[in-house]
Amino acid sequence: MEGSRKPLAKIEGRRRLRLSGLTIAWRGTPNLDDWVAYIVNGTKSKKLILADHVSERKMKGLLGRIQAMRKKEVEKLAQG
């Protein structure tokens, strides 16, 4: 019986992109490949997912690359 084990810490964040004006949110667990990044539009049913089940390093790299993209380019990347 493992009663003394602590739960894994979840990390969340948001960033507004200057050029496109979009808000990107992400969440995940350090040292696990369960990170997800998505575009926040205000409705939960219309979230455009940029990355799903990736490592923290890949997710941060993606956020760095889309900083300089326009809104249509970012949305096209999220569509697939």
Q: Model pTM?
A: 0.81
Residue 4 in domain:
no
Cα distance between residue 37 and residue 16, in whole Å: 13
Contact 72, 48 (CB under 8 A): no
Our count of domains for the chain comes to 1
pLDDT digits (tens, 9 = 90+) for 29-70: 998 999 999 999 755 656 789 999 999 999 999 999 999 999
pLDDT for the residue 28: 94
pLDDT digits (tens, 9 = 90+) for 19-32: 989 999 999 999 89
CA distances 8 to 28, 30, 32, Å, are 10, 8, 10
In which domain, by residue range, is 74 found? Answer: 11-79
Comparing 71 with 42, which gets the higher pLDDT?
A: 71
